[in-house]
Structure 1
């Protein structure tokens, strides 16, 4: 389990933390989380405090593969807008 806590910023900014799971098919669940199955692992991404403004998403994002070829990969992401000096 990875727990993402609040952080302090010098100025307001939108921060995002992305994970690139092995599986490339995301299933949205009723509680707003996502389940992404893999061959040997399952990836669940969910906000533990959704009222705090934290959001989760599972979407394809542009990346580059080992040979520097552009490719879209599924990413599970947490994001939140942090006001200046928030903790």
Structure 2
């Protein structure tokens, strides 16, 4: 499903025409490793707000799937972890980015 922050050029227009809402092609999923490494630098083609939105979505997905994940941001690196405290720390760090 389309979410705020997804580039409009990634909208799957033909597939969206068959559904009620917009769908997007997701070219950038975290690798299927036991531990996800979520890295700001790997989203260099996006503006800052889009990077934050994408990383926040990935943090939410990792948390929902109970995966271990790390988060690299320009201001800090958060070591691998999981659980509610780790989720809150990552989301707070994303919220504080300029």
- Shared topology, TM-score over 0.5? no
Q: Normalising by the residue count of structure 2, what TM-score does the alignment of the two structures yield?
A: 0.23
Higher helix share: 2
Q: Normalising by the residue count of structure 1, what TM-score does the alignment of the two structures yield?
A: 0.25
Higher relative contact order (CA 8 A, sep 6+): 1
